[in-house]
Amino acid sequence: MTATATAADHLATGDSINEQLNAGVSLDATAAQLGITRSWATKLSWLSRTFTAADRDKTGAENLARLRITHLEAIAGQQERFRVPLLIAAAEERLSVRNLRRRAAGLRGSRQAVDGATDVVERSGGPDAMRSTERALTRYARMPKDQLLRIYTGNSGPYIAAVIRAAHQLETRITQEGGEIISVPPPQRQKPDLGD
């Protein structure tokens, strides 16, 4: 496979390999047919089984298209319940493989990973995560209607709705506690330079 192949591409190839294996075709024959090494075919087969169709649906096709095989490898050993949130975070926050590994290692070593009481997204609620969420929502708000509705009715819709709901709840809580909502002017859009 080419260097530009996405995680989705590699998983699709792994699915094909597993179909061949289930049909009784040997791994060596399948690898030869695809023009890849046996070890590469083994890896793709394993990743395909590790990241199930349900995991991929929850992660979303757009997110998988942003990731590489190294992102999959970095978290394949994680507990099943953490894989999808980690993939989504990697795609949406544009995490490098190194940063994704760090986040995954933090989950393994944390008490939260043991008791499972806190979601990955809640753990990463610092300024970087907030900026990432704000950028995503701003991008959605500026999209053409058809594109926005396609995303909102797809896999991302429930997450977008949950963020909006949570933001309203947080605003209510802040005012109930006597705090003031910080007034933030909308981002200025650059006007096109029409020349003299």
Is pLDDT at 123 greater than 60 in this prediction? no
Provide the pLDDT for residue 122. 45
Is pLDDT at 21 greater than 80 in this prediction? yes
Nearest-5° angle of CA 51, CA 65, CA 121?
Answer: 65
Number of Cβ atoms within 10 Å of the Cβ of 50: 18
Instruction: Give the residue with greater pLDDT, 123 vs 14.
Output: 14
Question: pLDDT-based confidence at 87, cuts 50/70/90?
Answer: very high
Is pLDDT at 101 greater than 70 in this prediction? yes
Is pLDDT at 97 greater than 60 in this prediction? yes
Do 64 and 87 touch, CB atoms closer than 8 A?
Answer: yes
Number of Cβ atoms within 10 Å of the Cβ of 18: 16
pLDDT-above-90 percentage for the chain: 45
Provide the pLDDT for residue 45. 94
Provide the pLDDT for residue 9. 94
Provide the pLDDT for residue 125. 58
Question: pLDDT-based confidence at 188, cuts 50/70/90?
Answer: low
Instruction: Name, in order, each residue with C-beta under 8 angstroms of 166's C-beta and a sequence gap of 6 or more.
Output: none
Is pLDDT at 189 greater than 60 in this prediction? no
Question: pLDDT-based confidence at 3, cuts 50/70/90?
Answer: low
Report the mean per-residue pLDDT for the chain.
80
Q: How far apart are CA 160 and CA 60, in angstroms?
A: 13
The dihedral formed by the CA atoms of 45, 49, 51 and 52, expressed in degrees to the nearest 10: 130
Is pLDDT at 156 greater than 50 in this prediction? yes
